[in-house]
Amino acid sequence: MKVLIFGVTGNSGRYTAKFYLNKGYEVFGVGRSSTIPKEIEGVNYIQGDIQDIHFYNSLPTDIDLVVNFAGIQPSIITTSENTDLDKTLRSYVDVNISGVFNILEFVRKSKIPTYIYTTTHRDYELHWENNKLLGNDLPLAINYQGDHTMYAISKTSAKMMGDYYGECFGIRVFNLRLPMMFMVPDDPHYLVDGREVIMPFLKIIKNAMFSNELEIWGDPEMKRDYVHIDNLVSLIDLCSRSSLDRGTFNVGTGEAVTTEEFVKSIGHTFGREPDKINYKYCNSKRTYKCAIYDIEEQKRLLGYEPVLLKEMLEKLKKEMDERESVKSWGWV
């Protein structure tokens, strides 16, 4: 079995590559970085830019599965609509639309049977309501006044192109709709208007480890899916091995965890003295919007069994300990 992963040096690509290497598959990976993480050194790595049509001549064509993580999003792009509108909008089109078109053309011409694309749940933003479980195939509901609008448009356009290629050229096409994926990153920061900021969930973990007070922002009863990276990797594998010809699936848990429960669970898992932590309710502070996903179809069609919150936090703690992340991130 040969797997080609676009965006292999990103966080999701790294976990997926490691999974397939452990299964004994031959893994090829594409990325823009000059090097790849040590843990996936077994990947046959090809550095390149998906916008360059000539780059595809250097890729193997006898591939069984293509997984496409390649793209840009607000958390990794060095500009934003607030800092450089022209460059930011053009980048979304050039990378997330034109670049993905190039990948799809490569898949078509190479007669690769299965293509899996990771899209964004921002195409559902206007469906987000507390206590509302969202299905896999609701009508498009982009927030055209939001801070992720062009990103959502570009990812949705790329998804639609993939669906077209599946219908017209007999490619098995699967789209996985992603909320935020929780994992242990190499770098604990993401970008806000091009500035480095510690990831919010890691900030909570850090505070749990080194202080006795945790803040609970916004509505403490607001519910959300908290999704571990293993759930994404599992759905990629389940889709590729299924008898289905195509499908779009939300990568969720269906657990609907409140903000209060999430923060207190972090305190219990990561706190040095969990019973002594004081929880401060900060209702006026902005927090993430609610987004909860119905996963019954995934369970029925694919046999999907998601990692839930308690296990997710235990996995994060175990991996942080094994990788000595606290030290490498400069927290001590």
Domains of the chain: 2-183+226-254+291-307 (3.40.50.720)
User: pLDDT confidence of 218, banded at 50, 70, 90?
Assistant: very high
Mean pLDDT of the chain: 97
- pTM score above 0.95: yes
Tokens 């480095």 sit on residue:
196
CA distance 105 to 85: 29
pLDDT grade for 185, boundaries at 50, 70 and 90: very high
d(CA 20, CA 71): 21
Distance CA 322, CA 266 (A): 18
pLDDT in tens, 37-56: 889 999 999 999 999 999 99
Task: Give the pLDDT confidence of 137-172 residue by residue, as tens digits.
Answer: 999 999 999 889 999 999 999 999 999 999 999 999
Q: What is the pLDDT of residue 147?
A: 82
- Region 186-191: mean pLDDT is 96
Burial code (b: 16+ CB inside 10 Å, e: under 16) for 255-266 equals bbbbbebbbbbb
Partnered with residue 174 across adjacent β-strands are: 116, 247
